[in-house]
Structure 1
């Protein structure tokens, strides 16, 4: 079934668990206030659904430093030449003008959970009755020896879309004939999309057309990865002899880089590279740590039924920042979690009806032109985690027509989910 925009919007209403003894705010208190930190698939979706479904009954402020949001999902297709950068750019205009959300383009630099306030880089202080934190990822310092964010121009991560994505694409285009592209793949868990192995596929697609003698080397600390058989099948069929992956058995987990010399040391063997895409280990965005909401994993433990922080019931954590169980750190997952949290928040603040939490996710990847694959699942909230109920995945040896239909389905999903996030 093809997921077009109408189907996505018509079937993506998320449900959440009934909250015991909701706190209903009376007229004397004025409108309850919700502050949302982070304007990506989790935060923007939560802000929109809280504002829309409360029909103005809740005062919603969205804090997001950038005026334009570039989606990490589908950014690999830009690198591969299947989309332009403008198609990844989305504004917050509709959230402000249509839904009455107070969109504040500042950076949140502090959270006082006792006072229930958020401090912004400009010095302003925002009070809240409920706080939603959806800050995406930051990188674990030192996880790739020799690399930090000061080296991201020489060795881009391209894991926060926009200028980094442009840089990665430009570096691939400028590779010398027969050059070497190297990817340092991340350990689990990591944000996906942009999936590392789809990115390799898109780089290979470009090089096959413009630089067919070029090679791609992947240094990977993981023994296996999602959709591995599908990618390996596709690489063998479309990019024969171009891509080599070194897993942990071959030193893929023992890597150092030298951005100044443009070298990569894999288990003691030093190789000069022309482009190096370093994707470090990841953790919750910095504001989550500053707010004291992270645990030893670097992410934020949550109550699955409501996405509330296990450390503070007045805070909900979404998407990449959440340590929640079986769901991947994807845009689809963040959007699904946001609707669960939005209904929980409305129930707590206005007494509106809430329903049992349900979650879903699908991740599409493009291997070669019109050769799309996918993996997905449905989930439920248990006491311990968001738990997988059932799932599906593309199969090897599928017919070309099915792979093309899967790719077209992903295009419909992108149109639908971005409309659902940004209005």
Structure 2
């Protein structure tokens, strides 16, 4: 198996093509302005590549509500005790110091696409010539009956990394032997398709590692199947026999009510009780995408698959979890890959840089138990009006321990590589 080094990660996600597209002459005397909203795997990458590869020809402003960024990807490993929170929390300092990006810490609340301005929560406006939206997801609280933002302080979703992740870990670590966990998984489409099931694995790992024998994890899923299902269920049977019970909609019959205070999830089949409830509701594009008017009736943002340009406004690009990504899953790897295509096309719009044909990649790794890693991924290209999978791969059932360990180690190399690519 090849090792996922920083160099290999850059080649897989299009760094080489981006370097070829550097501009030499501005089309106007005043520097054009690109504003990027959202500082995660998509937004930070887009801001960096636009600033770096334009060699200062474009003024880049990055807006994010946080001073630092905690990754959702690898947050399950924090939950399982394989990482600490500091190791998945990162600074924007190098983007400012190395690439001259202006970092604005605050909440973008509105976009005037006619005036080409972004309005901040404090009333300030920031003008743009091109806008890159990478706001991630917004949770649809009432998609789970009885759930709410207030209930999340008792029954955390932890689908946005930070305080919710810490709360979930605190509650997991406080469980006593014999106390159960009930997870409500999200419906499609949602951020990180294998994520809930890796989380189940990490929670089971914690229970097993401390010798709990009476606790169970119940997964109430609105989907009939999920990403890497056979691999996860094989792993649960091998590592955590009798601990994990997954119920699809044909069994549980539908979720009728969640009572966070009582610790119950009522379904047509039964009422499940847990000392820890992990409720992950349905999702849509982040609020600023809704406010900008570039989301469709389903809540996500249609794009041109050849450029990541919004289907509703040629001056706006939408990347990452917020976009309609075709066959691409909503993942950090996808967002990073899409960001490079958007960055290349934004530069081509505003300078003499050339835009090359889009290419996209994704891999999603999951850890089931110590050194038991699995993955799924593909290469993608624009086809028939969407981003289409052209070549894919997935871990196989019954793989040997050395291969599974190598897969996990590959994921660690990828994490280091994408962080360097985003922020370094």
What is the TM-score of this pair, normalised by structure 1?
0.96
Q: Distance in 2 between matches of 1:326 and 1:256?
A: 32
Matches within 5 A, 1:353-364: 353-364=354-365
Equivalent residue number for residue 349 of structure 1: 350
The CA deviation at 1:202 is: 0.3
The CA deviation at 1:5 is: 2.2
Equivalent residue number for residue 368 of structure 2: 367
Equivalent residue number for residue 123 of structure 2: 123
Residue 97, structure 1, aligned to residue 97, structure 2: yes
Residue 135, structure 1, aligned to residue 103, structure 2: no
Matches within 5 A, 1:312-331: 312-331=313-332
The secondary structure found in structure 1 opposite 2:403 is helix
Equivalent residue number for residue 411 of structure 1: 412
Q: Distance in 2 between matches of 1:358 and 1:405?
A: 26
The secondary structure found in structure 1 opposite 2:41 is coil
**Residue deviations 1:136-164 (CA, integer Å, cap 9, x gap):** 00112311000011111100001111111
Matches within 5 A, 1:97-246: 97-192=97-192, 195-210=195-210, 211-246=212-247
* Structure 1 residue ranges, 4+ long, deviating more than 6 angstroms after superposition: none
Q: Distance in 2 between matches of 1:296 and 1:289?
A: 10
The CA deviation at 1:243 is: 0.5
Equivalent residue number for residue 84 of structure 2: 84
The CA deviation at 1:263 is: 1.3
**Residue deviations 1:69-88 (CA, integer Å, cap 9, x gap):** 00000000010011111100
Unaligned runs of 5+ in 1: none
Q: Distance in 2 between matches of 1:189 and 1:71?
A: 20
Equivalent residue number for residue 382 of structure 1: 383
The CA deviation at 1:382 is: 2.3
Shifted more, 64-73 versus 267-276: the winner is: 267-276
**8 A contact 2:251–2:269 mirrored in 1:** no
**8 A contact 1:76–1:194 mirrored in 2:** no
Q: Distance in 2 between matches of 1:120 and 1:218?
A: 39
The secondary structure found in structure 2 opposite 1:363 is strand
Q: Distance in 1 between matches of 2:194 and 2:92?
A: 22
The CA deviation at 1:400 is: 0.2
Q: Distance in 2 between matches of 1:338 and 1:242?
A: 40
Equivalent residue number for residue 304 of structure 2: 303
**8 A contact 2:362–2:377 mirrored in 1:** yes
Provide the aligned C-alpha RMSD in A: 1.7
The CA deviation at 1:255 is: 4.0
Q: Distance in 2 between matches of 1:13 and 1:379?
A: 12
Q: Distance in 1 between matches of 2:193 and 2:122?
A: 32
Matches within 5 A, 1:69-80: 69-80=69-80
The CA deviation at 1:271 is: 2.9
Q: Distance in 1 between matches of 2:338 and 2:130?
A: 16
**8 A contact 1:304–1:381 mirrored in 2:** yes
Q: Distance in 2 between matches of 1:11 and 1:138?
A: 29
The secondary structure found in structure 2 opposite 1:300 is coil
Equivalent residue number for residue 44 of structure 2: 44
C-alpha spacing 1:307/1:114, structure 2 compared with 1 (3 Å): same
Shifted more, 133-142 versus 2-11: the winner is: 2-11
Q: Distance in 2 between matches of 1:255 and 1:99?
A: 51
Q: Distance in 2 between matches of 1:370 and 1:193?
A: 21
Unaligned runs of 5+ in 2: none
**8 A contact 1:61–1:103 mirrored in 2:** yes
What is the TM-score of this pair, normalised by structure 2?
0.96
The secondary structure found in structure 2 opposite 1:295 is coil
Q: Distance in 2 between matches of 1:386 and 1:65?
A: 30
The secondary structure found in structure 1 opposite 2:200 is helix
**8 A contact 1:304–1:383 mirrored in 2:** no
**8 A contact 1:219–1:255 mirrored in 2:** no
The CA deviation at 1:193 is: 6.5
Equivalent residue number for residue 400 of structure 1: 401
The secondary structure found in structure 2 opposite 1:82 is coil
Equivalent residue number for residue 3 of structure 2: 2
Q: Distance in 2 between matches of 1:59 and 1:383?
A: 34
Residue 59, structure 1, aligned to residue 59, structure 2: yes
Q: Distance in 2 between matches of 1:194 and 1:400?
A: 21
**Residue deviations 1:120-148 (CA, integer Å, cap 9, x gap):** 11221111000000000011231100001
